[in-house]
Structure 1
Amino acid sequence: MNVEHFFPDNIKVALQKTPPGAWMAKLPEECIRLSSGYPEPALVPAEEIKKAADLLIEEEQDLPLHYLGSPRLAGLKKLIQARLEKRGMKVQEDEVLITAGACQAIDLIARTLLDEKAVVAVESPTYMEALEIFQNYTNQIITIPIDEHGLQTDVFAAQLAERKQSGLTLPNFLYTIPTFQNPTGTTLVPARRKHLLELADEFDFLILEDDAYGELSFNESPQPLKAMDTNGRVFYVGSLSKVVAPGMRIGWIAGIAQFISAFEWFKKDLDHPFAQSTMAAYLENVDFEKRLASLQKAYRKKCYTLIHSLEQYFPEPITWYVPEGGYFVWVKIPGVDTSHMLEQALSMGVSYVPGKYFFFNQQEGTEFLRLSFSYADEEEIVKGIQKLGQLFSSIM
């Protein structure tokens, strides 16, 4: 049977792209995982979540195990609204949609707002799984470069003006990670945040703000774009994956109620009652500000360990950005194809993610790699950077 015969043309095109997870190399045992953008295992509150699940079942018996679920489902939305308000975003109940992590949120927005004729703008580089999602719906992707201050809004402004003058389609929305970006770790400076919102008004596009790392600041968390938005142009996508547990799959979209209603129209999973009500029970009984402070301190220390190790073991002319929060450090290895070097790194017992996977045009990323300081412990970080330093020193 010719299976492809049953796929419509747009699906055939999407299936020709790089497959999901292609960036994730098979790791040897005992490998130092500087590739993994996951929370440190010891920082995941497994015991507290177990207690929350026990409390939930004890109090509600079978309710969280049914389609309609627990009364705590509504409570979770209120808890998230309260967290948003702490960061300057006052949203109503009908302006928030709980999702199965940030990826479902991004996919719902893309599914609702994109087709093969639509244009989406992205940072370059950007989160590879968001790129994968957008390419399921459109091939019309325009890219805006990033420097140490985040997305270059002046370059974007010139691109928009040129497209408008040439009669080309303007982007439906911009996807951006303005705070502790994945993969670069950079943060969009306040003047550029203001400029970006002005561009959205001038050229009539929406902004999808992915803020998965926004609460993991080493100093003070920047003001989200959503908190600065006075015209309802920003969809704010948040997640508890980086600050609680990724396996719980709790994320959300905050935006204008009409948009939220449209996204919910296409969200046919009936929610995830047990995971969501367990998370609500956990949040009800935790000092979340204290937890955030603990996470910020731990990741700040690990980041500094990584940066110090890079300074000690990496040869010139290798360069990197120093992040102010989040999980990642972005490294440039001039003249080296980092995807070709990965096999040697893995044979030495250390992993990273080649930079090409974060670019729409993968050839632009051959000299880059992403390192994560979140998962490995400090001793492993030092040892891993030492190994990579030896590898790159041998070829430069």
Structure 2
Amino acid sequence: MKEALQNNPPGEWIPEIPDECIRLHCGYPAPALVPDEEVKAAVNRLLEEEHDLPLHYIGSPKIIKLKEQVLKRLKERGISVTEKEFLITSGACQAIDLIARILLDEESIVAIESPTYMEALEIFQNYTKHLISIPVDKHGLQTDVLEEILEEREQKGLALPRFLYTIPSFQNPTGTTMTGERRQHVLELANRYNFLVVEDDAYGELSFNKSFPTLKAMDQNSRVLHVGSLSKIVAPGMRIGWIAGASEIIHACAWFKKDLNHPFAQAVMAVYLANTDFNNKLVAMRDTYRSKCNVLTSALEQYFPAASWYVPEGGYFVWMKIPGADTSELLTHALAEGVSFIPGQYFFKEQATGTEYLRLSFSYADEQEITEGIRRLGKVAQAYL
């Protein structure tokens, strides 16, 4: 615990962002897609029907309804789990933290993508310092490198990972998607080397063209702990996430959860989902984010001819490399010009690895702001190009 308290808290690196700044750092839903009026109607409907009940510790019976709704959506995506294999959490971060809490100790090893989701990296470092970085390329996690590392550790008698943490679809921060062959390879390696797979699927339903099977849907041996969330497709402030996995792990996570399930938020979400054609909502989201992504990549082609980036097939993010740049230094100048991004170093365990990289989000700003933001960023980046 004392060692964990020496780690920087989440977001410690973030400088003050001016109010008028074009926010290309924000991994938030588009404001126009957040259903504030529908949520307001759901709150009113819930309180009219149940009065004070959802505001008590015991909460509303609609909490059970929310479980049923999410389980139904998972089943439609090929993930068939029972109630004992499923737990609603306060967002994906609580799910990841609970998994780390029950599976890790100071000697445990975790395999992570490099780069990876910065909050997950921060969580794991609270429990263990033994993280193995596996590189990501345009096709997602490089599973051949993972296999080489596992084989070498086994031959040398070294400990193997307790689990692999991966974001197979529209990865944060790179936006890349793991191929079907690599997904199958991950599961084969998990079986061969006896480790679990924590699959973070926060962006999995935000595909631009075709959908991709989740690792959990492909899992035949209960190796995968599937972490999901409504934060990116409904509203992050509602804090609705989940874990789907082996019943004994779910039971242990539930034992340590101790938050009384946030009954009001869960009941409101259940009412909202019950009165929403969510599949149609998803079509609108995918269309919006596809269009925004196209605007961003077109602007990059215009203003960053010497840089390189991955073109995502879904999600929120574009990952860019500016050769020779120090993107933390670049951010200072970018903020002065009124545009923000996240320097790449914060997504790596070895931060020196990421100095030439940055993450851009196309989800939050509108299309006009995206183009103007990239123009401003291109202006300040000329010193490196």
TM-score (norm 2): 0.99
Could you say which residue in structure 2 is the equivalent of 1:21? 11
Could you say which residue in structure 1 is the equivalent of 2:242? 252
Alignment check: 8 A CA contact 2:324 2:384 kept:
no
Could you say which residue in structure 2 is the equivalent of 1:167? 157
Q: Which deviations, in whole Å up to 9, do the C-alpha atoms of 1:152-207 show, x marking residues without a partner?
A: 00000000001111111100000000000000000000000000000000000000
Question: 2:134, 2:141 → 1: CA distance?
Answer: 7
- Is 1:368 the counterpart of 2:347 in the alignment? no
Which one of the candidate residues 193, 197, 209 is aligned to 1:203?
193
Question: 2:181, 2:24 → 1: CA distance?
Answer: 33
Could you say which residue in structure 1 is the equivalent of 2:203? 213
Q: Which deviations, in whole Å up to 9, do the C-alpha atoms of 1:329-356 show, x marking residues without a partner?
A: 0000111110111110000000000000
Alignment check: 8 A CA contact 1:23 1:354 kept:
no
Q: What secondary structure, in the 3-state scheme, does the structure 2 residue paired with 1:266 have?
A: helix
How many Å apart are 1:249 and its aligned residue?
Answer: 0.2
Alignment check: 8 A CA contact 1:23 1:353 kept:
no
Q: Which deviations, in whole Å up to 9, do the C-alpha atoms of 1:321-376 show, x marking residues without a partner?
A: 00000000000011111011111000000000000000001011111000000000
Could you say which residue in structure 2 is the equivalent of 1:343? 332
Question: 2:347, 2:335 → 1: CA distance?
Answer: 20
**Structure 1, 51-60 or 21-30: larger mean CA deviation:** 21-30
Q: What secondary structure, in the 3-state scheme, does the structure 2 residue paired with 1:237 have?
A: strand
Could you say which residue in structure 2 is the equivalent of 1:184? 174
Alignment check: 8 A CA contact 1:315 1:393 kept:
no
Q: What secondary structure, in the 3-state scheme, does the structure 2 residue paired with 1:291 have?
A: helix
Which one of the candidate residues 348, 352, 374 is aligned to 1:359?
348
Q: What secondary structure, in the 3-state scheme, does the structure 2 residue paired with 1:197 have?
A: helix
Which one of the candidate residues 76, 79, 89 is aligned to 1:86?
76
Q: Count residues in correspondence.
A: 385
Could you say which residue in structure 2 is the equivalent of 1:121? 111
RMSD of aligned C-alpha atoms? 0.7
1:94 counterpart letter in structure 2: K
Could you say which residue in structure 1 is the equivalent of 2:272? 282
1:325 counterpart letter in structure 2: G
How many Å apart are 1:250 and its aligned residue?
Answer: 0.2
Question: 2:314, 2:73 → 1: CA distance?
Answer: 19
Could you say which residue in structure 1 is the equivalent of 2:381? 392
Question: 2:167, 2:203 → 1: CA distance?
Answer: 9
How many Å apart are 1:393 and its aligned residue?
Answer: 1.8
Query: Structure 2, unaligned stretches of length 5 or more?
Result: none
Question: 2:35, 2:120 → 1: CA distance?
Answer: 27
Q: What secondary structure, in the 3-state scheme, does the structure 2 residue paired with 1:22 have?
A: coil
Alignment check: 8 A CA contact 1:315 1:392 kept:
no
Q: What secondary structure, in the 3-state scheme, does the structure 1 residue paired with 2:190 have?
A: helix
Percent of paired sites with the same residue:
64
Alignment check: 8 A CA contact 1:345 1:351 kept:
yes
How many Å apart are 1:68 and its aligned residue?
Answer: 1.0
Could you say which residue in structure 2 is the equivalent of 1:152? 142
Could you say which residue in structure 1 is the equivalent of 2:311? 322
Q: Which deviations, in whole Å up to 9, do the C-alpha atoms of 1:114-137 show, x marking residues without a partner?
A: 010100110000000000000000
Alignment check: 8 A CA contact 1:315 1:389 kept:
no
1:331 counterpart letter in structure 2: M
- Is 1:130 the counterpart of 2:120 in the alignment? yes
Alignment check: 8 A CA contact 2:322 2:384 kept:
no
How many Å apart are 1:14 and its aligned residue?
Answer: 1.7
2:152 counterpart letter in structure 1: E
1:289 counterpart letter in structure 2: N
Query: Structure 1, unaligned stretches of length 5 or more?
Result: 1-10
Which one of the candidate residues 30, 55, 59 is aligned to 1:69?
59
Question: 2:339, 2:211 → 1: CA distance?
Answer: 31
Alignment check: 8 A CA contact 2:117 2:347 kept:
yes
Alignment check: 8 A CA contact 1:34 1:376 kept:
yes
Alignment check: 8 A CA contact 1:35 1:352 kept:
yes
1:313 counterpart letter in structure 2: Y
How many Å apart are 1:309 and its aligned residue?
Answer: 0.3
Question: 1:103, 1:341 → 2: CA distance?
Answer: 29
How many Å apart are 1:221 and its aligned residue?
Answer: 1.6
Which one of the candidate residues 283, 302, 310 is aligned to 1:312?
302
Distance of aligned partners of 1:214 and 1:23 in 2 relative to their CA distance in 1, 3 Å threshold: farther
Alignment check: 8 A CA contact 1:354 1:370 kept:
yes
- Is 1:106 the counterpart of 2:90 in the alignment? no
Q: Which deviations, in whole Å up to 9, do the C-alpha atoms of 1:285-315 show, x marking residues without a partner?
A: 0000000000000000000000000001113
Question: 1:372, 1:23 → 2: CA distance?
Answer: 18
Question: 2:78, 2:29 → 1: CA distance?
Answer: 26
Question: 1:334, 1:16 → 2: CA distance?
Answer: 33
Which one of the candidate residues 36, 40, 57 is aligned to 1:46?
36
How many Å apart are 1:258 and its aligned residue?
Answer: 1.1
Question: 1:12, 1:71 → 2: CA distance?
Answer: 40
2:326 counterpart letter in structure 1: D
How many Å apart are 1:237 and its aligned residue?
Answer: 0.3
Could you say which residue in structure 2 is the equivalent of 1:4? none
Alignment check: 8 A CA contact 1:320 1:330 kept:
yes
Could you say which residue in structure 2 is the equivalent of 1:295? 285
